[in-house]
Amino acid sequence: KNIPGISIKSDIEDFSIIPFEQDVQ
pTM listed for this prediction: 0.18
| pLDDT interval class at 21 (50, 70, 90) | confident
Q: By residue range, what is the domain housing residue 11?
A: 1-25
| pLDDT interval class at 7 (50, 70, 90) | low
The number of distinct structural domains making up the chain is 1
24 burial level (CB within 10 Å; 0-12, 13-18, 19+): exposed
Q: Residue 2: CB partners within 8 Å, gap ≥ 6?
A: 21, 22, 23, 24
Supply the DSSP symbol for 9.
E
Residue 11, helix vs strand vs coil: coil
Selection from 8, 2, 12, 10 nearest residue 21 by Cα: 2
